Each structure stands twice: as structure tokens, then as C-alpha cells.
Amino acid sequence: MLPLVAPDGKPAVIVAPSDRSLEGAVTELQAFLKEITGKDFPVLSDAPRVDQPAIVLRLGEGPERDGGFRLRVTNSEALVESRSAEGVSFGVSELLEQLGVRWYMPGELGTVVPKEAVPRLSLQDREHLPSFESRYFGPTWDKVWERRMRFGGVYFPPAHGIKLGKGADFKSHPEFYAEIGGKRVNKQVCVSNPEVLRRAVATAREYFDTHPKERIYGIGPNDGGNFCECKDCLALDSGDWDPFSAHPSTTDRYIWFFNRFLEELDKTHPGRSVAFYAYHSYLRPPRNVTPNPRILPALAPIALCRVHGLNNPNCPERSYYKTLLQEWGKLLPKVFERGYWFNLADPGFPFSSVHRMRDEIPAAKEYGIYGWRTETINHWASELPSHYVAAKLMWDSNADVDALLEDFYQTFFGPAAAPMKDYFQTMDHALRDGDQHTGGAFAIGRMYPKAVRERAAKALRQARAAAKDSPWKDRVALIQLSFDYLQQFLASQSARDAQNWDEAWKHWQALEATREKLVSFNPPMINLKYSRSYLDRFFRLPVEQGYQRSRNGNQVVAKLSNEWDFHVDPGEVGKEIGYQQANIRGGNWQRIDAANTSWSDKGLRYYRGLAWYRQKVEIPKAWEGKRVFLWFGGVDESARVWVNGTEVGTSADSAFTPFELDATQAVRAGQENVVTVCVANKRVDELGTGGIMAPAMFYSPAKGNDAKLDNIRALRETFP
């Protein structure tokens, strides 16, 4: 062992050259050694050898791979050596971790620093190399944490859009843009147009002239669909069908374009590569076009399960994705992963991916994946320790995950280690073993059923009792906040579904208060932007509007049940055969819980088309002759509504947004009324949702407070 403090109390000398690129590594090493020992470790530049231990940082020999370093510890010195300053910095992180320092998440609360009068390093001599040439989360996170976790290597640039340079705007040159339904629209470009290719190459040449050291150019379709339907672009497609985007595969046309792009670019800037996201309807490999080996795809399977690992037997979708990885790997030498390591449409509820990371990252290494450009959201409190484990595996795909986790429980929670282990395993295994694959936060209650949450709550109670001192109690309290956030959301949703609006709003206010606490940390423990935007977009309005429509003189007339008769209409014939009629009978309708069962939960998954809902509800006699509105908490995407066979209107074309319709002339007070809804869901979304997504009710506004109908507009073109 090499003691870093001599018997006479003198600390080791840090020896580093006067090189600005190493200043950060030297400062980091000094700061943490002082925090560990309480001593100042002196820094010498190219100093002669002294009689006390030395920590030597050196730029020179070392592994050739980006970020690689050598760590050699003898009886007299510890040497960190690399060909790059980045590698030296990574070596300093390794040295500090061997001394017990941990960075489970950014900030003081996420950092573990042991107190040791005489820290020691084991004797060793080893080259450390990353398992993957590229290791990045996106969007940009905490740069300091990323460096300590050894992110880096080949950078995969943003790749949405084909830039055409100045003077190529839609107004000046509509022919450069996609033809949809016989008209040019400003969505995608027309890749079969030779001038589009010429201008795209010219723009890339300008980029490389300005950035001569860069070797990779990001390029690809804009996010979303609306691909060109001109005869020349359609002729480039292979005829392959992508079932998950519900669209013909467009991969061949883009690979054809990238091949020609590189061929032209090589005339002035040889050897460059293009990076693109294999995404949406261009996720599947090309069938007819052989790609240039300098095309770098990053597979982005947004329409596939984001909960389970590649080899999880509960998830056929991930098996399909594994096949895609292997097929792309046979075509191209460098394939990247741009997976989604978070729960979509999730405002920061607990979501553990440890089970997925320990499965998927080593498997990706086996399949020859070159690197990572994953999409993540920095919900630190809710996703701990998933991203820590992922970062460790991205550097070393053979890392012992069980050992990493045991170390995490012990060093992060101290006396509360055992119950916190129970908590994290309970939550992680619920996702691993569950059969939920789509829906994002809409499925969170099914991901964590009552029995799971009860066990998790018990573990947290035990942890709070065990962790009486800081920092242990502070860390347990953070995880408790995250769990409370989930519980309050589910309590609000449950009360909402029962149309107990006072209770739903009370729990919602508690949820908002907990969110504020989580974002008040430095750094925020759930993402400031997305936690708010997802709550507002998907969940707040049904609770808020339901609460408003049940008070201040407004009165609930009749609650519609969440149980609806349900019928899929892929042929769009429902109106022709009279599904909207009040006296319709037969037709093999099913019974579903609409507010808690999206189309994906019914096995329809990414079904695109029409579906019908029907139920009967009695309107009390007391409401005869009074103003009555029919309010819906939200549908995905748009709805057309009948009451007793009379059409009362359509929703605004805004998925998940509540809407209301004046049903005064259609309702029959004192009788049973038939409500029929036809929901159109024509656009692919990555949540797998569809149909009626929240409760509905008849209500009567207070006198002089008649609801405005500004949000109601006809959308008959959406329907047959």
C-alpha cells in the first residue's frame, strides 16, 4: 500500500507539468485530498524527486484510445499517465474513487467523501480503457458530473434537419421541400431534388472549412413525419413497412441521399462521416441500398418499450429492437445507441432503470455498438442510482453491478442501507417484472401497484428511523420526497377518476408543493422544465377544470362512468352503420375502463384510426329546461360527440386538453341518455395512448357564468 501521508504527517507531493489543460485535474485532486485528510497537498511543477510520497500526473505515453489512462502505484508514487488531458482527468477520478470518493449525482448531497487521516492506495499497474468509444447523455447535463463519470470520446452531433444554406427558404424555393397531397409544405426536404443535394453539400463544406478538425457532420430528417410524396422520392423507398411508426419505411431514400452526399463531399473534404438518427420511419435498416461505411446511425427507438432490457422475457418489443441493432451492425462498422433512458411524459416520478442498464449496456457491447448518445432527463431524485450505474457500465461494460449497488447503499445511506436497498429493489423489480411497455406516466399506477407501494413505504419508514444524523437522514428524506410525489399524484388521479373533485384538487396542491421542494435543491432534484411542462400538458387541466365545474355555483348534473362500451373502427364505417344512433344494439362492443386504460393497454398499442365509446346515464328531472354542458377531461386526439343520437359537437384538435359541449337541446331530463363518442387518433405518438383519457360529466354552469365555447371548433375533416 502507498500511504498518501508520511509518518511525520507530511502529505504527498502532487507533481504535474505547467500545462493549462491539466489545471482542472490538479485542482480537483487537491480539493478532494484536503477534504479527505484535512491537509494541503503541495503542487510542484517538474520538481526533482523528494523523500515523501508523490502523485504524478503526466501527459505522455498511455493507451491510444480516447480517454484511456495508466494508473501505476508503487511504494513511493502514484502515476496517472495519458496521451490526453481528458485521460489524466479520468485517471484522477479513478484514483479518488479508489480512496472512497463517490459522485452518485451532482451537488454536495450526491457526493460521498470519506474522512481518513492516512489514505492509502493499493499497489497496481493497469491501463484503463473505455468499453465504448463514445459516451454521452443528452441533452447537456452537469458537465462536472459527466467528467467525473468519464463521459467523452467521439461526439455524435445533433442530427435533426438537412441544412440548405442561405436563400433556400420555403418562400423562395418551395420545390426544395416535401410534396404532401400534391402541395409543397415546409416540413421535410425533397431529397430526390438534385439542387437539394448540391446545397446540402455546399453547406457542409462551409461547416468543415470553418471547423477543419471536425470529422462528423450531423444530418437527417426533421423531427416528425410529413415525408415527401413526390414520385421521385417515393421511387427511392424499398416498399418495407415500419409497423411501429405506422408508415412506409423511408430509410432507403435517406441512405441513398447520404451516399451521394458523401460522394460529393469527398471531392473537397475526403474521409468525413455523416451522423443521423435512425428514428421514426427510418429506424429499420435499408433493404435495397448499401450504405457508405462512413454513415453513422444512432438508433433511436422512440416507439418501442423504454421500460425493459433487451433480453427481458417479458418484453417482445426489446427482442425486436435487439434484432434491429444486430441488422444495422451487419451493415455498418460504427453504430451508436440513442435510446431513451427515462419515462416519457413523466414529470419526475420514481423510475428505476437499473435492471435495464445492467442488461442492455453489456449486450450492446456484445453486439458491437460503438457508442452512446442517449436521451435522458436529469430527474436525479427519481432515477437514482440508474444513471450512475449506466455511466459506470458505459465506461466498463464488465463492471460488477451488484458490487456497485452494495457500495451505493452502504456509502450513500450508512445506517439506513438495508431498508433503502429494499426500497430501491422493490421499485426496480416492479418495472423489470411488470407488463407495462407504453403510456409513460399514464401507466405509472400500473407500474407500481398498491402492494408494491406499500412495501416501498414500509422500507422508507424503516430507513427514516435508522438514519438519525446527516447526511444519511438528508438523503433518505430526498428519496422520501420523490416517493411522496408519486403517492400524491396517484391519490389525485384516483380522486379525479372518482370525480371527487375537492379531494383531487387537495392532493394536486400537495403534489405541487412537493414538486417545488424537489426543484428547490441545488442542483434541482427533478428537472425544472419537464416536471412542470408534463404536469401542465397531460395531467393538471382535468383536475383543475373538474374542480372549477363543481363549485362557485356550478353544479354537477350527472357523472359519467369510467366504464364505457368500446368498439374499434379501423374501416371507418361506424357512422355509416349507425354507431352514433341512440337505439343501436349488437355489434360486439367491449367494456373498458377508459380513464385508466389507454389503447395500448387494450393490446391496440400504436393503433391509428377511429374508435367508438358508448354509455347510458340518467339526467335527473330537476334539470329539465336548464343549461347543461357535457365536459370531457381529455381525449387523444380528437372527439366527435352525440347525445341521444344528436351530434352536440367536436373537440378542439388538441390531445389531452379538456373540452365541453353545450348539450342542452340534446339531453332528456328525467330519462336515460345515451352518450356516444367517436375518437380519432391519426398521428403516431410515442406514448401509445389513445381514446378517452379522463373522466367526463354533465354539469350546469352558474347563472351568468355560462361556459365559453371558444375552444370548440368543427373538425369534421378528421372523421369519415
Sequence spans of domains, the chain: 2-129, 157-303, 317-325+348-548, 556-718
The three three-digit cell numbers of residue 544, written as one number:
383543475
pLDDT at 708: 43
pLDDT at 47: 63
- DSSP secondary structure letter of residue 617: E
Write the pLDDT tens digit of every residue in 462-504.
Answer: 999 999 999 999 999 999 999 999 999 999 999 999 999 999 9
Write the pLDDT tens digit of every residue in 8-64.
Answer: 899 999 999 988 999 999 999 999 999 999 999 999 987 656 678 999 999 987 777
The CA distance from 360 to 414, in Å, is 30
The 3-state DSSP class for residue 425 equals helix
Instruction: Please state, as a whole number, how many other Cβ atoms lie within 10 Å of the Cβ of residue 95.
Output: 23
The DSSP line for 515-549 is HHHHHTSSS-SS-HHHHHHHIIIIIIHHHHHHHHT
Q: Is the dihedral of CA 212, 216, 219, 224 positive or negative?
A: negative
pLDDT at 49: 61
Write the pLDDT tens digit of every residue in 323-338.
Answer: 999 999 999 999 999 9
Mean pLDDT of the chain: 93
- pLDDT band of residue 714 (cuts 50, 70, 90) is very low
Q: What is the 3 state secondary structure string of 250-297?
A: CHHHHHHHHHHHHHHHCCCCCCCEEEEEEEHHHCCCCCCCCCCCCEEE
The DSSP line for 209-235 is HHSTT--EEE-BPPSS-----SHHHHH
User: 10: buried, middle or exposed (CB in 10 Å: 19+, 13-18, 0-12)?
Assistant: middle
pLDDT at 77 over 70: yes
The DSSP line for 2-32 is EESB-TTSPBPEEE--S-GGGHHHHHHHHHH
Write the pLDDT tens digit of every residue in 625-643.
Answer: 999 999 999 999 999 999 9
Q: Which fold has domain 556-718?
A: Jelly Rolls (2.60.120)
- pLDDT band of residue 710 (cuts 50, 70, 90) is very low
- pLDDT band of residue 712 (cuts 50, 70, 90) is very low
Q: Tell whether pTM > 0.85.
A: yes
Write the pLDDT tens digit of every residue in 106-127.
Answer: 999 999 999 999 999 999 999 9
- pLDDT band of residue 574 (cuts 50, 70, 90) is very high
Write the pLDDT tens digit of every residue in 11-22.
Answer: 999 999 988 999
The CA distance from 567 to 610, in Å, is 9
Q: Judge: domain 2-129, CATH 3.30.379.10.
A: yes
CATH class, domain 157-303, is alpha beta
pLDDT at 711: 36
The 3-state DSSP class for residue 177 equals strand
pLDDT at 678 over 90: yes
- Which helix or strand (DSSP H or E) is residue 58 part of? strand 54-59
pLDDT at 706: 53
The CA distance from 361 to 349, in Å, is 24
Asked if residues 394 and 404 have their Cβ atoms less than 8 Å apart, the reply is: no
pLDDT at 450 over 90: yes
The CA distance from 557 to 11, in Å, is 78
Report the greatest alpha carbon distance in the chain.
99
Mean pLDDT, residues 552-569 taken together = 95
Mean pLDDT, residues 505-525 taken together = 97
pLDDT at 684 over 90: no
First to last CA, the chain: 78
- Number of alpha carbons in the 13 Å side-chain half-sphere of residue 662: 12
pLDDT at 596 over 80: no
Asked if residues 661 and 649 have their Cβ atoms less than 8 Å apart, the reply is: yes
E strands, 620-667, are: 629-632, 635-636, 638-643, 646-650, 659-662
The DSSP line for 102-162 is EESSSSSTTEE----SS-EE--EEEEE--SSSEEEEES---HHHHHHTT-EES------B-
